[in-house]
Amino acid sequence: SQKIEQNSEALNIQEGKTATLTCNYTNYSPAYLQWYRQDPGRGPVFLLLIRENEKEKRKERLKVTFDTTLKQSLFHITASQPADSATYLCALERDDKIIFGKGTRLHILP
């Protein structure tokens, strides 16, 4: 079955630097890979989606890459701010089935 691996340990990044989060998966390549943000006590909120035939997607300070050979997606936040502190989830979709990773907690240190 498909498995998703995200860094289980929290990631601490200095304000202003680029934060890079990793999402690795096994088995089949998803048709779509999504990234969500989740704040404490709230539901996940969609950030970005990248398709299997796309290498990179950008939205403001966010960038997602998708490497189907490595079976990996990287999520970058440039010029990070304390307000970017949250848990970030990746999700894989294929054939209408969506599987979520466990998420990585990101702390941006002022």
Binding residues for other proteins, per CB under 8 A? Answer: 32, 34, 36, 41-46, 49, 51, 89, 91, 93, 96, 98, 100-103
Inter-residue contact 102 to 10 (CB < 8 Å): no
Residues 6 or more apart whose CB falls under 8 angstroms from that of 39 comprise 86, 87
Give the nearest distance from C-beta 21 to other proteins in angstroms: 14
Give the nearest distance from C-beta 20 to other proteins in angstroms: 20
The beta strand positions in 7-61, using DSSP E, are 11-14, 19-25, 32-38, 45-51, 56-59
Annotate 43-59 with b (16+ C-beta within 10 A) or e (fewer).
ebeebbebeeeeeebee
**Closer to other proteins at the Cβ: 15 or 22?**
22
**Closer to other proteins at the Cβ: 29 or 100?**
100
Give the nearest distance from C-beta 109 to other proteins in angstroms: 23
Q: Which amino acid is at 41?
A: G
**Closer to other proteins at the Cβ: 13 or 92?**
92
Distance in angstroms (rounded) separating the CA atoms of residues 70 and 50? 15
Give the nearest distance from C-beta 73 to other proteins in angstroms: 15
**Closer to other proteins at the Cβ: 65 or 104?**
104
